[in-house]
Chains A and B, each alone.
Chain A
Amino acid sequence: MHVPDGFINAPVSAAAGLAAAGAVAAGLRGARRELGGSALAGGHGAERTAPLAGLVAAFVFAVQMLNFPVAAGTSGHLLGGALAAILVGPWTGVLCIAVVLLMQGVLFADGGLTALGVNITVMGVVTVLVAYGIFRGLVKVLPRSRRSVTVASFVASLASVPAAAAAFTLLYAVGGTTDVPVTKVLTAMVGVHVLIGIGEALITTATVGAVIAVRPDLVYGARGLTAPLKLRVGGRLVDAVPVAPAPAAVPAARSTRTVWITGLATALVLAGVVSFYASASPDGLEKVAADQGIDKKAEEHAAADSPLADYGVSGLTDARLSGGLAGTIGVGGTVLVGTGVFWAVRRRDGARRGEGSGEGVRAGARDAVGEGARDGVRDGARDEEAV
């Protein structure tokens, strides 16, 4: 289901293209960490990325051609976003799907060139991030076992497909070239894609299960599930002394990124979906003001006729959808601004620290913490830029 040219208007396509470019850039940095991080990698880091990500992309490309018969002549195929995210990690997943879509667009005329950004955003970024966010959250909550990985991959891939459909509808509502009633489109798209999602979830779960059964160490989402090595000493099982604390064994669960993604997903769900059902009547203060006639003097806000005024998107008649959309845009904007400020502050902070102690000492100290090792490299690079 690749979006062709002319489906989404030019400005929104361009915006989606920028978002996709940002996601690919983040994916390029993240994939180096994910693919270079396994215990076997040793000193190899960045140069592992290209061959491994390339082969995973080839796998995604091939597995999309594997037909799964549904009934009487019809068959479906895997979309692969959730599968890639669980098997190789979210950033490599985004990167691989983006490369597959780029190549399909250029080589096979599958999906319009101007719609490339839309396709990457919807099928790559949204699918992978939703799937991996849910997967990570469930794996943390559920007991540490193989069964919970199975459950988590089922739920994650089930949710990722309608989420992509909803994201497409959102883009269509903002930049669609025809005024199809948005609620109708949303109902139809999400309804159909829940069905597709069930198929995707069944296949993804079975595939992840098959990989875990043979090479559990390859499944990114199941890292940290490996049982500690036991030695049999005099008929009793004793914990073996770990040879080297593998930094990859500590999953990304502790990093701030996961917290960030989970928080963002929750905020978006709250803003986009739950606000459908929020009360449209004014809050307590406004109600009192209206009852008492205080608000007669209240001046309209300077931004009252902005496109997002009163928590609704102008031009959309459906109050619920309009509210949800405005909420989602608001959350997105807030997160962008907040992240920008945070990043700027952190950069300056890093530059100040960089003047003091030597780089190696700090990186070494962080290594001891384990998880910090990856951050150390990143911070080091950033410090050098800043200095």
Chain B
Amino acid sequence: MGAGHTHKLYRHGHSPVHRMPPHCKLVAVLGFVVVVVSTPREAVWAFAAYAALLGAVAAVARVSPWFVLRRLVIEVPFVAFAFLMPFVVPGEQTRLLGVEVSVPGLWGAWNVLAKGTLGVTASVLLAATTELRALLLGLQRLKLPPLLVQIASFMIRYGDVITDEMRRMSVARRSRGFEARGVRHWGVLAKSAGALFIRSYERGERVHLAMVSRGYTGSMPVLDEVTASRAQWCSAAALPVTALLILLLGWTP
């Protein structure tokens, strides 16, 4: 069980962004995304400024731009939807590269693409600079229900174990000459999923009994309380507050 100490988006480092307390980072990213989402889409330059802000954060955190760009693949289904918009939305028509497209549709596509990309980038930066355990501590610090945080931490700790279990099943299937090629093979895969559920649930029962035998009564002891100094809060607030200033500047003219 060597896994579970980190996750695949995490990039080890010692930058100021890495060292910042996790709950400050969570609040900062959430605040930034809220500001981005409530920006009117006509303020094109504001989005450019937001992107520059994120670029600055990435530079301070020493996260490579390529890493962020590769992770943007996750948006693809919605990009496809966005590209459909100019053709299906009714309204004033215009000509773009020789194709009839609608103006509101173009604005809609721009809106979704710009805000979605900025949101994903901010989340990637958060995940790349925060360790798993720190994230959970941060969520706990932000007063999420302790039970919810516990469930999340069990999910994270055993996620790799369960995934590995699934991979071993897949290796076992393949070593017996099975290859899933179509709908006809779903039965076998579904039986694997069922077996995986039984194994997960039984593992849960064993984990519970092992914990009870070590004195678990339903709450985890808080060993290290993460705290943040005023200066750390201020530096974390720099991102959303600058974004808010940009938003306000965008509205006044």
Contacts and interface: CB of A to CB of B under 8 A. Distances in A.
B162 A62 contact: yes
Main SS class of interface, A: helix
B147 interface: yes
B33 A112 contact: yes
Contacts of A95: 148, 151
A5 B116 contact: yes
A54 B147 CA distance: 10
Contact of B198 (A44, A46, A179, A214): A214
B101 to A, nearest CB: 13
Contacts of A102: 152
18 contacts: A4-B120, A5-B116, A9-B37, A10-B37, A50-B150, A50-B218, A54-B157, A55-B154, A58-B158, A59-B162, A63-B196, A102-B152, A112-B33, A114-B34, A114-B119, A179-B108, A181-B90, A218-B197
A5 B104 contact: no
Given A25-B145, A109-B120, A69 B180 contact: yes
A177 interface: yes
B81 to A, nearest CB: 9
A181 B91 CA distance: 11
3 closest Cβ pairs, A-B complex: A54-B154, A6-B115, A178-B108
B33 A113 contact: yes
A5 B195 contact: no
A337 interface: no
A214 B189 CA distance: 16
Contacts of B104: 178-179
B151 A99 contact: yes
A58 B111 CA distance: 34
B203 to A, nearest CB: 6
Nearest to A63: B193
A71 interface: yes
B190 to A, nearest CB: 3
Interface of B: 7-9, 26, 29-30, 33-34, 36-38, 41, 71, 74-75, 77-78, 85, 88-91, 104-105, 107-109, 111-112, 114-116, 118-120, 122-124, 126-127, 132, 135, 139, 145, 147-148, 150-159, 161-163, 165-166, 180-183, 185-187, 189-198, 200-201, 203-205, 207-208, 211-212, 216-218
Main SS class of interface, B: helix
Contacts of A112: 33, 37, 116, 119-120, 123
Interface in A181-206: 181, 184, 202-203, 205-206
A165 B187 CA distance: 26
Given A87-B197, A106-B127, A179 B89 contact: yes
Contacts of B33: 5, 112-114
A7 B81 CA distance: 11
| Among B29, B114, B194: residue with most chain A CB under 10 A | B194
Contacts of B85: 178, 180
A116 to B, nearest CB: 9
Contacts of A71: 182-183
A209 B188 CA distance: 12
A6 B217 contact: no
Nearest to B146: A50
A284 interface: no
B180 A107 contact: no
A57 B151 contact: yes
A134 interface: no
A49 to B, nearest CB: 6
A203 B88 CA distance: 34
Contacts of B148: 24, 28, 95, 99
A154 interface: no
Interface size class of A (residues with CB under 8 A): 35 or more
A386 interface: no
Contacts of A61: 155, 159, 162-163
Nearest to B90: A181
A110 interface: yes
A210 B193 contact: yes
Given A58-B162, A63-B196, A103-B155, A7 B204 contact: no
Given A95-B151, A181-B88, A218-B197, 12 more contacts: A1-B77, A3-B78, A4-B78, A5-B116, A5-B118, A5-B119, A5-B120, A47-B218, A52-B208, A55-B155, A59-B197, A211-B197
B194 A5 contact: no
B116 A7 contact: yes
Contact of A66 (B7, B127, B189, B218): B189
A7 B112 contact: yes
Contacts of B7: 107-108
A215 interface: yes
A202 to B, nearest CB: 6
A207 interface: yes
Nearest to A27: B148
| Among B109, B193, B218: residue with most chain A CB under 10 A | B193
Given A6-B119, A71-B183, A178 B107 contact: yes
Nearest to B194: A210
A191 to B, nearest CB: 14
A166 B165 CA distance: 35
Nearest to B180: A69
Nearest to B169: A66
Contacts of B187: 206
A59 B196 contact: yes
| Among A99, A178, A181, A205: residue with most chain B CB under 10 A | A178
